[in-house]
Structure 1
Amino acid sequence: MTPEPHSVVPDPKSQVASAVGVSAPESQQVNRVGAIAADPLPFGTGDTPPETGVAAPLPSNNTSKTGTALAEALPPRRVLPTATPLPCSHPRPSEVFCFCLDCGQPMQVQQVMGRYQVIKTLFQGNTSITYLAWRDGRSLVIKTLNSDWVSHAEARTFLEQEAKILHQLRHPGLPRLIDFFWLEGRPYLVREMVYGQDLSQYISHQGVLSQSQAIAWMLQVCEVLHYLHQKVPSVLHQDIKPSNLIRRSTPHGNWEISLVGLKAASTLTESGTQIGLPAYTAPEQQEGHPIPASDLYSLGPTLVYLLTGQEPRVFL
């Protein structure tokens, strides 16, 4: 299975601009579930929040119990006009940077999704695709389903379930949900961007960790897992591995490590089985019966990698 990326990139000023300027039709509208983060994004300058209209129904193939619970858990949907792409107009074009060094605005806009300007594609997996996006001076991550899976009822339900879970989480070691909306029958999940290197990248560039540093970072991961597992019902991550542990460029308080990769739709396979990388996955999880202890099992192989720089399968 192709590992899902954490959608983490270095600072936007260091990114390669690979986008092309394509704007959405003015008539395009968004059927969205309102901004649902603890500190929702502000509306653009001179724009006021639209009036809340009649809640639009979920698509006909989205009437599962999970979808209904999500609709009840989140604010009513609102129909919003599509944003107008506003790429930077400074006379210093660049094929190296995604964002202008003078004003911080996007150098190019690939496409527009509702009020979000898509700068580039970060990753395209088996079932989902992840974008780097921009809105109101802030970089964000947008995740949606691939075209082959957008009409798949179970995949849509999984992405809704992921949004519902993220909506309930408030922890400095986890990225926060910013928004969840529907556009032309496709669901979109918007979350906080986490800047930094994942621990796989960190080990590749900096070398293996000392025992004390590795333990200190794993203890931070344990704190996050404790927070997830004490939820009722328990929230399981199911994909603990170095590439899903991010060392933030700027620590969030005392938290250096962020745990990303908490997802559902991206690990959906044709058979509906959800597993992580075999070398990092507990036996019961590989059999389709994950429990909280399964996440703790994955910390062992992760610690082996941090201390040796080698994949755990080498020692099996």
Structure 2
Amino acid sequence: MLEVGQVLRVRVATPQESHYQLKQKLGQNAGRQTWLAEDLATQPAEAVIVKFLAFGDQVQWDDLKLFEREADVLKQLNHPRIPKYRDYFSIDDRILWFALVQQFIPGSSLKDLLNQRQKFSEEQVRRITTDVLEILIYLHSLIPPVLHRDIKPSNLILGEDKQVYLVDFGAVQDRATAQGATFTVVGTYGYAPMEQFGGRAVPASDLYALGATLIHLVTGTPPADLPQRNMRIQFSDRTTLSPHFIRWLEALTEPDVDLRIKTASQALETLNSRITSQSSSLVSQPHGSRIKIKKSARSLEIKIPARGIQFSDTFLLFFVSFWYGILILFTKGAFHPFLLLHWIAGLFPLSMLILPAFGEIYIRFNHNYFFMEWELFGQCYRKRQGKTSVIHHVHVSSESIAVNNRPLMAVSIEAGAEKYKFGAFSPELSDVEREWLVREIKEWLGL
């Protein structure tokens, strides 16, 4: 029976005995116990973690094989953010206990922080992501690759030095599963991908588990409790993440392993390239532009204001006034059916004058939807809506209508099979401004 204060005297390969004094039980389940202890052989005594496996009715041979594999793998690892192997031994105290001793990492697990209702900002999540990916790059580059197979919040420790440590290699795999061979199912539901439960874990399986863990951090909800569609975790409507980070997480948690990001190096490169693009790209508003943009991690709002009556409108204003003046003079206010076409013909030049002078355009994006509204004198006369997640292309396109033998240009947003355009009938919107708006929208979307 293991008790607080108990000193374990262990004779290892050398004649010298090791002494471990048990200080605090940290966890227990199904023949397993984890203790905080002190290594009395060091001066001063150093804190260590001792994991025990009781060989008996609750423990199968496969459990013991995994336990021994964890010890063997930890012996070979040398990374500053992986707990170092210290000792492995067995004790027979009515029950045969196997024990693995490893370095103690002071800090809190991400699970503990989630239980304390801590909120994680996008900047914090990015730092955690980078730390874990650097560890996975090391593990996956070993020969053979070492797969952790159980990345989740409880196995990630935020140390007192603010760095993230990967712990608990109890499900580790350091060799490929032979075709047709039996295998032990490992991993945690909600975090482990489907191929892992089929015994076909690959480096991308650890990436999926990392992605699911990050989704837990940003939503505060375990991935198993989030809705799914076509086996994809649906989380974007529960976060304030920037769209490009959401897309990156979606690529990391792609259910089809063949379509998922393949390596930790690729994942880190993709993440960093988007961070660099976001921070260093020079998307400046053209001088003199009156367009108003308001953007944050959650939304992008664009307002194309009315330009008012300008001197260039003088001729058009005179023409419209003259046209309707003549009609009123000849009809003397009475309705004549044969003059209906003349009234309608005057509407086009009238709209060419009124819409740019007094019409405004609003384009709003959030993580779920985008909206385009056209207003005249404060009243919306046209509105379109689409889904942000299906936008795949934003560019300047030419319209079939031409003015003075020059085709009208519009900003085109392609979402799925639909096209959403604005700015074609806005003479105050210059070519430079259209290109600038395209860059702003693409930047916010992470395209």
Fold equivalence (TM over 0.5): yes
Distance in 2 between residues matched to 1:249 and 1:231, nearest whole Å? 28
> Do the aligned residues in 2 keep the contact of 1:229 with 1:292 (CA within 8 Å)?
yes
Q: 1:19 to 1:126 in 2, by over 3 A?
A: closer
* Structure 1 position 124 matched with structure 2 position 28: yes
2:39 to 122, 135, 140: 135
* Structure 1 position 315 matched with structure 2 position 227: yes
Structure number with greater CO (CA < 8 Å, separation at least 6) is: 1
* Structure 1 position 167 matched with structure 2 position 75: yes
Distance in 1 between residues matched to 2:169 and 2:207, nearest whole Å? 15
> Do the aligned residues in 2 keep the contact of 1:239 with 1:281 (CA within 8 Å)?
yes
> Do the aligned residues in 2 keep the contact of 1:30 with 1:79 (CA within 8 Å)?
no
Q: 1:140 to 1:206 in 2, by over 3 A?
A: same
> Do the aligned residues in 1 keep the contact of 2:183 with 2:199 (CA within 8 Å)?
no
The equivalent of 1:188 in structure 2 is: 99
> Do the aligned residues in 2 keep the contact of 1:239 with 1:295 (CA within 8 Å)?
yes
- Considering fraction of residues, name the structure with more strand: 2
> Do the aligned residues in 2 keep the contact of 1:150 with 1:186 (CA within 8 Å)?
no
Distance in 1 between residues matched to 2:65 and 2:14, nearest whole Å? 20
Residue identity in the other structure for 2:131: Q
The equivalent of 2:66 in structure 1 is: 158
> How far 1:163 moved relative to its partner?
1.1
> How far 1:306 moved relative to its partner?
1.0
- Larger mean Cα displacement after TM superposition, 169-178 or 256-265: 256-265
- Percent of aligned pairs sharing the same letter: 33
> Do the aligned residues in 2 keep the contact of 1:200 with 1:243 (CA within 8 Å)?
yes
Distance in 2 between residues matched to 1:118 and 1:21, nearest whole Å? 5
Residue identity in the other structure for 1:117: Q
> How far 1:294 moved relative to its partner?
0.3
Distance in 1 between residues matched to 2:227 and 2:58, nearest whole Å? 40
* 1:82-132 Cα deviation digits (max 9, x unpaired): xxxxxxxxxxxxxxxxxxxxxxxxxxxxxxxx5111123221122422111
Provide TM-score, normalisation by structure 2. Answer: 0.43
* Structure 1 position 301 matched with structure 2 position 208: no
Structure 2 counterpart SS, 1:156: helix
Residue identity in the other structure for 1:144: F
2:170 to 242, 263, 281: 263
The equivalent of 1:39 in structure 2 is: none
> Do the aligned residues in 1 keep the contact of 2:7 with 2:20 (CA within 8 Å)?
no
Structure 2 counterpart SS, 1:289: coil
Unpaired segments ≥5 residues, structure 1: 1-17, 33-76, 82-113, 266-270
Structure 2 counterpart SS, 1:121: strand
> How far 1:233 moved relative to its partner?
0.6
1:201 to 98, 104, 112: 112
Give the length in aligned residue pairs.
210
* 1:3-48 Cα deviation digits (max 9, x unpaired): xxxxxxxxxxxxxxx9555567xxxx6342xxxxxxxxxxxxxxxx
Distance in 1 between residues matched to 2:34 and 2:223, nearest whole Å? 28
Distance in 1 between residues matched to 2:126 and 2:115, nearest whole Å? 19
> Do the aligned residues in 2 keep the contact of 1:117 with 1:134 (CA within 8 Å)?
yes
Q: 1:206 to 1:150 in 2, by over 3 A?
A: closer
* Structure 1 position 30 matched with structure 2 position 6: no
Residue identity in the other structure for 1:263: G
Q: 1:149 to 1:176 in 2, by over 3 A?
A: farther
Q: 1:23 to 1:202 in 2, by over 3 A?
A: closer
Q: 1:152 to 1:300 in 2, by over 3 A?
A: closer
The equivalent of 1:281 in structure 2 is: 192
* Structure 1 position 226 matched with structure 2 position 137: yes
- Considering fraction of residues, name the structure with more helix: 2
> Do the aligned residues in 2 keep the contact of 1:278 with 1:286 (CA within 8 Å)?
no
The equivalent of 1:78 in structure 2 is: 14
* 1:48-96 Cα deviation digits (max 9, x unpaired): xxxxxxxxxxxxxxxxxxxxxxxxxxxxx23545xxxxxxxxxxxxxxx
Q: 1:21 to 1:232 in 2, by over 3 A?
A: closer
Unpaired segments ≥5 residues, structure 2: 173-181, 229-447
Distance in 2 between residues matched to 1:242 and 1:172, nearest whole Å? 19
The equivalent of 1:250 in structure 2 is: 161
Distance in 2 between residues matched to 1:152 and 1:312, nearest whole Å? 29
Structure 2 counterpart SS, 1:220: helix
Provide TM-score, normalisation by structure 1. Answer: 0.60
> How far 1:285 moved relative to its partner?
0.3
Structure 1 counterpart SS, 2:160: strand
Larger Rg: 2
> How far 1:242 moved relative to its partner?
1.1
